């Protein structure tokens, strides 16, 4: 069930709040989904400023719908009999935990919705969720992981069964794809998790100890290089990058002056300037 809840699991949360959200009614007759989706993703967060964004959710009616119409894995073999469970209803979904959320931001369910009980959403249902709060975490891209469970019921042979994802498979579903992007009011740099981007070093100016971050959509070798104002290379190293946000803690001793730092992959090189002061 790898595709089971990719589009709607982000909608659950269990923290009481005074804010509220409103579902977009145009999706009332849609199949399951969440808007905005993981391609459009969530609006950028600015450090130190209040943040609020709403998500509209339509949950699936059956396991087949939840699995994007793929019936190949929706069979259970019991006592020599193969039973198709794609028609089993989605009774409810529950958020187990959220990983990667920046400090100060919280994912909420719609606690004003009488049908959302303890952050469990019924199947075939239109509702909403929201993220709010204020964060001062460093600028960058924060991938969000949601750990969820789904409840269903049906009949195998003549035996009624009520079960959930964890009981059936021994594990929860881990959902990825949504990002929280933090910028600041001074530079308001815009980042796309699917692009090769380089952030301004922090702090700048610096006394040699500074943090440099870059984002890459692929895991590959990155050439990191620093040159002085005359174009002379004063520092160089090759870095094995991870997909997403990467951090370089630079603490080499350089003379006072203006330098250019750059990261280079197989396709392009990106550069920014930093100031070393004493």
Structure confidence at residue 14 (pLDDT) = 36
Structure confidence at residue 137 (pLDDT) = 92
Query: CA 234, CA 97: separation in Å to the nearest integer?
Result: 45
C-alpha pair distances (Å), 179 with each of 28, 88, 94, 102, 199: 26, 32, 20, 10, 17
Triad 55, 166, 96: Cα angle to 5°: 40
By the 8 A CB rule, do 152 and 89 touch?
Answer: yes
Cβ neighbours of residue 263 closer than 8 Å, sequence gap 6 or more: 196, 198, 214, 222, 223, 224, 269, 270
In terms of Cβ atoms closer than 10 Å to its own Cβ (0-12, 13-18, 19+), residue 143 is middle
Q: What is the pLDDT of residues 71-122, one digit of tens each?
A: 777 777 776 778 888 889 989 988 888 899 999 999 888 877 888 877 788 9
Three-class secondary structure of residue 172 per DSSP: coil
Instruction: Label residue 237 by pLDDT band (50, 70, 90).
Output: very high
Q: Which architecture does CATH list for 197-276?
A: Sandwich (2.60)
Instruction: Label residue 193 by pLDDT band (50, 70, 90).
Output: low
By the 8 A CB rule, do 215 and 248 touch?
Answer: no
Three-class secondary structure of residue 187 per DSSP: coil
By the 8 A CB rule, do 92 and 119 touch?
Answer: no
| Residue 63, H or E segment | helix 63-66
Domain with CATH 2.60.40.3080 in the chain: 197-276
Token digits of residue 56: 């509209």
Residue 2: pLDDT over 70: no
Beta bridge partners of 105: 133
Q: Which of 155, 15, 142, 133 is nearest to 83 (CA)?
A: 155
Q: Report the 10 Å Cβ neighbour count for 171.
A: 10
Cβ neighbours of residue 116 closer than 8 Å, sequence gap 6 or more: 109, 110, 122, 127
Domain with CATH 2.60.40.10 in the chain: 9-183
By the 8 A CB rule, do 91 and 62 touch?
Answer: no
Q: Which CATH number fits domain 9-183: 3.40.50.150, 1.20.58.220, 2.60.40.10, 3.40.50.300?
A: 2.60.40.10
Q: What is the pLDDT of residues 143-168, one digit of tens each?
A: 888 788 889 999 888 889 898 878 87
Q: What is the largest CA-CA distance in the chain?
A: 81
Instruction: Say which residue, 141 or 260, is predicted with more confidence.
Output: 260
């Amino acid at each position: 069930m790898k595709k089971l809840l990719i589009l709607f699991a982000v909608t659950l949360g269990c923290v009481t709040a005074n804010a509220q959200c409103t579902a977009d009614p145009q999706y009332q007759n849609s199949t399951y989904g969440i808007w905005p989706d993981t391609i459009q993703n969530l609006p950028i967060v600015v450090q130190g400023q209040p943040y609020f964004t709403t998500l509209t959710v339509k949950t699936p009616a059956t396991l087949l719908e939840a699995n994007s119409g793929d019936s190949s894995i929706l069979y259970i073999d019991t006592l020599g009999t193969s039973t198709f469970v794609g028609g089993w209803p989605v009774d409810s979904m529950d958020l187990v935990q959220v990983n990667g959320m920046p400090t100060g931001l919280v994912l909420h369910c719609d606690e004003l919705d009488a049908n959302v009980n303890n952050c469990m959403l019924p199947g075939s249902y239109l509702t909403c969720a929201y993220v709010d709060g204020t964060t001062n975490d460093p600028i960058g891209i924060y991938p969000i992981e949601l750990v969820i469970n789904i409840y269903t019921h049906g009949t195998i042979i003549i035996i009624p069964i009520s079960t959930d994802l964890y009981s059936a498979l021994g594990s929860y579903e881990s959902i990825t794809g949504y990002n929280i992007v933090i910028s600041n009011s001074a530079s308001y740099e815009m980042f796309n998790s699917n692009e090769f981007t380089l952030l301004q070093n922090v702090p700048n100016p610096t006394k040699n100890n500074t943090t440099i971050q870059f984002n890459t959509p692929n895991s590959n070798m990155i050439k990191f290089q620093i040159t002085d104002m005359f174009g002379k290379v004063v520092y160089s190293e090759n870095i094995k990058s991870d997909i997403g946000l990467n951090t370089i803690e630079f603490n080499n001793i350089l003379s006072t002056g203006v330098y250019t730092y750059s990261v280079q992959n197989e396709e392009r090189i990106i550069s920014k300037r930093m100031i070393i002061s004493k």
